[in-house]
Amino acid sequence: MPDQSNQAVPSVPSGPEIPGNATAPEGISRRRMLGTAGATGLVLGVAGAAAGYAAAPSSAAAPLTSLGSERAMFHGKHQPGITTPMQARGHLVAFDLAAGSGRKEAAALLRRWSETARRLMAGEPAGTRDTDVARDAGPASLTVTFGFGHSFFGRTGLDEQRPAALDPLPDFSSDHLDKNRSNGDLWVQIGADDALVAFHALRAIQQDAGTAARIRWQMNGFNRSPGATAHPMTARNLMGQVDGTRNPKPADADFDERIFVPEAPGSGKAGPVWMANGSYAVVRRIRMLLDDWEKLSLKAQEDVIGRRKSDGAPLSGGSDATETTEMDLEKTDASGKLVVPINAHARITRPDQNGGAAMVRRPFSYHDGFDADGVPDAGLLFICWQADPLRGFVPVQRKLDRGDALSQFIRHEASGLFAVPGGASEGEYVGQRLLEG
C-alpha cells in the first residue's frame, strides 16, 4: 500500500465553523490559524485513499471549515496527486525549457517549484511574490505534481537516463491530436477543492518558471465538490455516466506493483534508479461529442457503456445489482443476445480482457465554451497512472481502437506521456536524484 503521508489530512472543526473566506482574528497568523484545524474526519474518493488525522485544535483560535483545512503532504514516498482523493478543481500545464536552458537551469527550476509547492500545500504564502489570491483560505487539499516529458532528457543532456517506458505513445486511429497542446518538456498537475487555491498555485508555478521555461499548453478542469452528494459515490462525467468504476485501490494487494515503479533495480519492471516509487502519467484531452450523445435514448447510452446510467451497475446484473456487482460477460437475454454488448466500453476496458492491464484513472472534466453553432467544447481531461504505460494504457487503448462503441461519441484531441518520479524527502526537491545523480 502506498505511503499514506501524501494523502489528504482531513479535519472537522471542534467549534463553530467560520466561512471559508473569513480572515484570521487579529494577532493570529494564517499558519497558526491553519494549525488549529480540528480533530478527525473521513475523506472519501474514487481512488480509495485512506483517512488521516490532523493535530488537536487549539483553544486560542477558531478552526477553518473542514473543507479548507484538509491538507495533503508534499514530502513522501510518492508524489501527491496520484492516490489523493479527486479534487473539485484542476489545472494541467506543460512547459518547454527556454533556449539556452539546460540541466543547471532545470535543477534550479525544480528546486523553486518544489519549495513553492511545499509552502502552498501547507497553506503558507508562496513566497516574496505571493499574489494574495488564496490569502483567506486553507490548503483545501491542494496537490502539485511534477513530471518529465520525453524531450526533457535531450534538452538537459540526460538521454541515458530516459526510461524506456517514456518512449512516445503509438498512433491510435481515434487520434485527432493538436501537437501544440500535446507533450512538453515538463508537466505540472495542480488539484484543489477550492478554485482560488488552485489558481493561486497555477500562477505561482508560472511565475517561478521565470526565464527558464515557457508555457507550452495549459488546461483547466473540474469535478464534483466534496460533500455535494447525499453519500460518497464515484464521480460522473459530462455524459452523465458514473466514471471510475473498478479503479484499482491502494488497499489492493497488487496496487503498488501495477501503479508505481519498484525500488529494486533489476526487478524486471524497474526503470532508472531515479524513478523508484514514481509512476507514469498518460494525459489525454478527450472531447465528448455531447450533441450526438444526448440524442441517444437511455437504453442506447447504457448499451454503449455496458452499465446502467442511474447507478453504474452492470447491465448483466438484476434490479438489486450495484456498481460493484461483478459483470457477467456471457449472460444473454431471452432472444440469446448478449446483455452486455460485445462492443460495450465497460466490456472492452476490463483488465481481464486486456491481459491484466490496469491503471488508476484520475480525470477532470472540462468545458472551454461553445462554438458559433452552440456546440460545446467539453469533455474529459483523462489522466491515468501506471507503473508502465506499455502494460497499462497502450494495450487498452489499442483494443478500444478496434471496436469500442463509445469511440463515435468522443475525439482524442491532445496527448502526453510523462515520467513522474517518486516523492521528495525532507530537504530534497522533486527530480533531484535525476538532475544531481
Number of compact structural domains in the chain: 1
Residue at 367 is within a domain: no
Which has the closest alpha carbon to 87: 381, 415, 290? 381
- pTM above 0.75? yes
Residue at 361 is within a domain: no
Residue 379 in contact with residue 285, Cβ under 8 Å? yes
Residue 67 in contact with residue 139, Cβ under 8 Å? no
Sign of the four-CA dihedral 417, 365, 96, 427 = negative
Q: Which amino acid is at 15?
A: G
Residue at 273 is within a domain: yes
Burial 21-56 (b: 16+ CB within 10 A, else e): eeebeeebebeebbbbbbeebebbbbbbbeebebee
Mean pLDDT of the chain: 86
Residue 11 in contact with residue 37, Cβ under 8 Å? yes
Residue at 213 is within a domain: yes
Per-residue confidence (pLDDT) for residue 36, from 0 to 100: 36
Taking 70 as the pLDDT cut, the residues of the chain under it are 1-65, 264-270
Q: What contacts 376, CB < 8 A, 6 or more positions away?
A: 290, 291, 367, 369, 370
Per-residue confidence (pLDDT) for residue 5, from 0 to 100: 42
Residue 52 in contact with residue 8, Cβ under 8 Å? yes
Q: Which amino acid is at 292?
A: D
Euclidean distance between CA atoms 80 and 73, whole angstroms: 7
Residue at 274 is within a domain: yes
Euclidean distance between CA atoms 168 and 118, whole angstroms: 31
Residue 255 in contact with residue 243, Cβ under 8 Å? no
Per-residue confidence (pLDDT) for residue 269, from 0 to 100: 53
In sequence order, the β-bridge partners of residue 221 are 90
Q: Determine the structural domain holding residue 156 and report its residue range.
A: 4-287+417-435
Residue at 260 is within a domain: yes
| Residue for grid cell 507550452 | 216
Per-residue confidence (pLDDT) for residue 127, from 0 to 100: 86
In sequence order, the β-bridge partners of residue 124 are none
Residue at 396 is within a domain: no
Active site residues: 243
Residue at 19 is within a domain: yes
Strands (E), 184-294: 186-192, 213-222, 279-288
